[in-house]
Structure 1
Amino acid sequence: MNIRLRVPDTIAWRIALTVGAAILSVLVFSALFDRFAGPSAAERARLDRADDAIRMIEVAAPGNRQQLADTIMIADKVVWYQAGTSIAQQLATAELHAPSRETMSWFQDNGHERRSLIFTSADQLSKAIDFDRVTHPDAYFMAVQLHDSSWVLFIANRRPWGNLLPARLTTTLASVASLILAASMLATYFLARPIRQFAEELRQIGGDPRAGPVREAGPKELRAAIKAFNALQAQLRKFVDDRTLMLAAISHDLRTPLTKIRLRGEFIEDEEQRLRLFRDVDDLQAMADSALSFFRDDYKDEESTVFDFAGLLRTIADDYSDQGAAVRYAGPDRFALSGRPFSLRRACMNLVDNAVKWGGSADLELTSTPTEVALTISDRGPGIPSEALEKVFNPFFRVEQSRNRSTGGMGLGLTSALAVIRAHAGDIALSNRQGGGLTVCVTLPVVSKIVESCHTSKT
């Protein structure tokens, strides 16, 4: 029977595996560093032989020490310097970096570590030493002090493990830190990637309840969250569909009694009362049609494309100017934007229509940054009370409380405009102008800007 160990794909396990991988990488690197940066087995044997040679030289008579050193074949050359000589004094007073603890532990005198030095031909101390510089252009020196203050000097080619202690320590720390940083960045990237993908898909959905479900991927906890979100989205989609179907049925059923009321109104002899009745019937029909159009979210059925947003705004300003309204546009001649042009046109026209209705004029200004585009619509009307700046976006809310459509409207213009703008991942902010009037700021993300723009003003 085959037994397969399956690790659960959870965030906790991913973090544990990340930490474990980082620790394991450091341990492997340390082992490799000790293997290749530290003394090898052969070099350790040479160090043992060097320690034996030092002990033999130390017990020998001073007159025989150099002769004994010449017979040692551990290094290319072994030299003994008597205490008090110039080189012995320079070695005793030299302020050079000591060798590694691993190297120093080889040379001991009655359990105490001997004073030892490691230096190269590049150090100033090497200039006082007589050796073949042609044979050893990169000579490696290891000096060990005996108990009578004399010195034994080993001369050989530089070894890889002979780095000075600070250089070796710096290299080790820098390598370990780089390895941990690389392993952590790589692990956290793969750990956070499904979360980033989830956030990106949510941003693309933009709160559209009709959008398809989000793909379930990533750790167990994230998949559970995505599954719950998809279930909630499905419920919202069903609710919206049921609501739209109900409103469509109500709107359709209202047509018959409204038509009957209009026909019966024809028999009213009082013409003034008949006209009032017809006007009320028209209002009821317009209210039903407007509500149905709003709740259907028709703008979401339009395909997204790249269009000239600046040209759209200029067209709106020209249309209102042709009707005698003072609507002015200032901004770039061209600005390419990715979105639903007809929906954005309807939303902008709702905002401009409010400005013209309440302020008598509208000033449109388009500005952009590398990440977003801002449309400002300003008027000189009475403005909106500060407590109602947020309420005006609620469906059927009207600052003007009369039920007359010619003065108060339906209360759906700003609501519809906000829905369109937010469907494009943008937002609308209202603020009262100093000296009277209202400023509407519409911000949209720049998804695609393919036409260079130059700022000009049109009056």
Structure 2
Amino acid sequence: MRMPRLSFLRPKSLMGQMLLAVAAALLLVQGIGAILVYRAQRESYEVGMVNAAAFRLIAETRGRGGVGHIGRHDRSPFAGPPLRGFPLQTSNASPANPGEPRDTRAEARLQRILTEQEFPSSGIVVVHRTVQGDPVGHDNTMKWAAHRGKDERQIADRMDDHLLVVGVKQPAGGGWTIVRVRSPRDANMLVQPLIVQTLIIYLVLVGAVALILRRITRPLAALTRRVEQFAVAPGSVGQLEPSGPEDMRHLIVAHNAMEARIVAMLDEKDVMLGAIGHDLKTPLAALRVRIESVEDDNERGRMARTIEDIVRTLDDILSLARVGRPSDPRERTELSALVASVVEEYEDMGEPVELGDTQRIVLELRSTWMRRALRNLIGNALRYGQRARVTLVREGGSAVILIEDDGPGIPDDTIEDMMNPFVRGDPSRNSTTGGAGLGLALARAIADQHGGALILANRLSAAGTVEGLTARLEIPVG
């Protein structure tokens, strides 16, 4: 079974980062709240146990016949359910064992209560134990279990209970009055509700944020895809339907208006270029006819070549201007066959063009424009490098066409500039060494039109000298 894609939850995406931030902030706030609530609960619980111990001390020594009353039910609201077997005791020794840690906070709190109630004492000791770890608690629990017929599991549960052992020393050399208070099993009763509450808040809040972000990111993703399509083929599809929150709708409407304006300007540019091409080619055609009346053959030939240069430059300018808005659709093409056919054209003309290794690669492209790019690159290689070697390989997800020459190369600091319009390798503008400087610019524009790239690099020998130039034309496959 194929799992659904959750690419929008990537940490780098808007939704992923927002949900991660909300989850982290919520975890921090809930963690702090849980700690504060837990500490308050524990504080209240400890206060309740100390109050329960003070209640038993005062009530059972003053109003119920003095110390040592055995077998009495403890119905203090702080001490949990009724208990048997934890009576008040008197002893000449402190209830704290040597080295056993004492709860000084509980001792101070109990001292304040006894002072307020005018209960005489000359010393207070408070320690925490389990029922298992307290001899009196253990013995009385076993007696209680035998009397009630409890099984081993129930006895073990009681043995793990928390026991507060309080000793109050009587003044004037009196002994110690000892009371034990057992905490109920639900001492941490708020921990589970806090966890459940946190999970519920997470589900509700993160779910709500996810829905809101989804309403934002879906139209945003659609707008991103639209911009990518528009960059490749302006005006090829209709306008994007506004969706999402009102702010996103306004953004999409503004984008549609901008896109319509750009398309209108491009259409206007195409009309203008068509008019320029028509208006210039018509008088050039008339000049071709008129030069036939020139009697000097050399002069007539020079004039004809000048007219051809103008026509070729005009064609390059018009092609470069229109490469971003091609009229022909993409077609599935066997690229190796296309490359071989272009090389054969030069071979038929006797040009030193060699076809190297090729791989069969089928992809969708505009074959007319790709032929134009290959001709420009091979023509540059022949013009500046005397010969051209063409190979076709597949690297990853791209088809790579390499055109190598044996020329002097290009200085590294000017390679990028050479692909700009009207920049030539020969600055003299001599027509015998090059055209108007539009060949590489047009080839790069065609590569960009197909989602690829044109990269120029000098080819170096083992000694580090330049052996020629390599033009690398990359076209993505699929």
**Residue 159 of structure 1 pairs with residue 159 of structure 2:** no
Cα distance in 2 for partners of 1:366, 1:87 equals: 92
Change in 2 beyond 3 A, CA 1:247/1:204? closer
**Residue 143 of structure 1 pairs with residue 163 of structure 2:** yes
Match of 1:206 in 2: 231
| SS state at 1:278 partner | helix
Cα distance in 2 for partners of 1:160, 1:304 equals: 74
Look up the equivalent residue of 1:237 and give its one-letter code.
V
Structure 1 stretches of 5 or more lacking a match? 1-14, 449-459
Contact 1:142 1:154 in 2 (8 A): yes
Match of 2:9 in 1: none
Change in 2 beyond 3 A, CA 1:127/1:412? farther
Equivalent of residue 68 in structure 2, options 64, 73, 97: 64
Cα distance in 1 for partners of 2:138, 2:337 equals: 85
Q: How do 1:203-282 and structure 2 match up within 5 A?
A: 203-206=228-231, 208-211=233-236, 213=239, 216-217=242-243, 226-282=252-308
Q: Deviations over 1:129-179 (max 9, x none)?
A: 6444333554462322324273414275x337358xxx8899699979978
| SS state at 2:457 partner | strand
Cα distance in 1 for partners of 2:187, 2:400 equals: 63
1:34 is displaced (CA, Å) by 10
Match of 1:7 in 2: none
Aligned alpha-carbon RMSD (Å):
5.6
Change in 2 beyond 3 A, CA 1:83/1:221? farther
Look up the equivalent residue of 1:57 and give its one-letter code.
R
| SS state at 2:154 partner | coil
Deviates more, 1:403-412 or 1:413-422: 403-412
Contact 2:23 2:202 in 1 (8 A): no
TM-score (norm 1): 0.65
**Residue 383 of structure 1 pairs with residue 409 of structure 2:** yes
| SS state at 1:64 partner | coil
Q: Deviations over 1:323-370 (max 9, x none)?
A: 653434457x34555554543443244323322432212353645346
**Residue 93 of structure 1 pairs with residue 100 of structure 2:** yes
Contact 1:206 1:425 in 2 (8 A): no
1:306 is displaced (CA, Å) by 5.9
Q: Deviations over 1:292-335 (max 9, x none)?
A: 3332337633334665556655665666567653434457x345
Contact 2:73 2:82 in 1 (8 A): no
Equivalent of residue 408 in structure 1, options 434, 447, 451: 434
Change in 2 beyond 3 A, CA 1:124/1:52? closer
| SS state at 2:421 partner | coil
| SS state at 1:145 partner | strand
Change in 2 beyond 3 A, CA 1:408/1:50? closer
Look up the equivalent residue of 1:68 and give its one-letter code.
R
Contact 1:381 1:438 in 2 (8 A): yes
Contact 1:37 1:161 in 2 (8 A): no
Q: Deviations over 1:52-76 (max 9, x none)?
A: 6533421324753442256779436
1:431 is displaced (CA, Å) by 3.1
Structure 2 stretches of 5 or more lacking a match? 1-16, 115-123, 146-151, 169-175
Q: How do 1:18-57 and structure 2 match up within 5 A?
A: 53-57=52-56
Contact 1:198 1:214 in 2 (8 A): yes
Change in 2 beyond 3 A, CA 1:90/1:208? farther
Cα distance in 2 for partners of 1:266, 1:109 equals: 127
Look up the equivalent residue of 2:112 and give its one-letter code.
N
| SS state at 2:86 partner | strand
Match of 2:153 in 1: 134
1:411 is displaced (CA, Å) by 2.6
Cα distance in 2 for partners of 1:420, 1:317 equals: 19
Match of 1:293 in 2: 319
Contact 1:388 1:399 in 2 (8 A): no
Change in 2 beyond 3 A, CA 1:56/1:233? closer
Change in 2 beyond 3 A, CA 1:321/1:83? farther
Contact 1:75 1:155 in 2 (8 A): no
Change in 2 beyond 3 A, CA 1:53/1:388? closer
**Identity of counterpart residues, as a percentage?**
23
Cα distance in 2 for partners of 1:309, 1:175 equals: 57
Q: Deviations over 1:387-436 (max 9, x none)?
A: 54233333333223466655312432212222122223333333333322
Change in 2 beyond 3 A, CA 1:268/1:314? closer
Look up the equivalent residue of 1:248 and give its one-letter code.
G
**Residue 364 of structure 1 pairs with residue 395 of structure 2:** no
Cα distance in 1 for partners of 2:346, 2:82 equals: 99
TM-score (norm 2): 0.63
Look up the equivalent residue of 1:135 and give its one-letter code.
Q
| SS state at 1:252 partner | helix
Look up the equivalent residue of 1:203 and give its one-letter code.
E
Change in 2 beyond 3 A, CA 1:363/1:91? farther
Bigger RCO of structures 1 and 2 (CA < 8 A, at least 6 apart): 1
Look up the equivalent residue of 1:433 and give its one-letter code.
R
Match of 2:12 in 1: none
Change in 2 beyond 3 A, CA 1:373/1:408? same
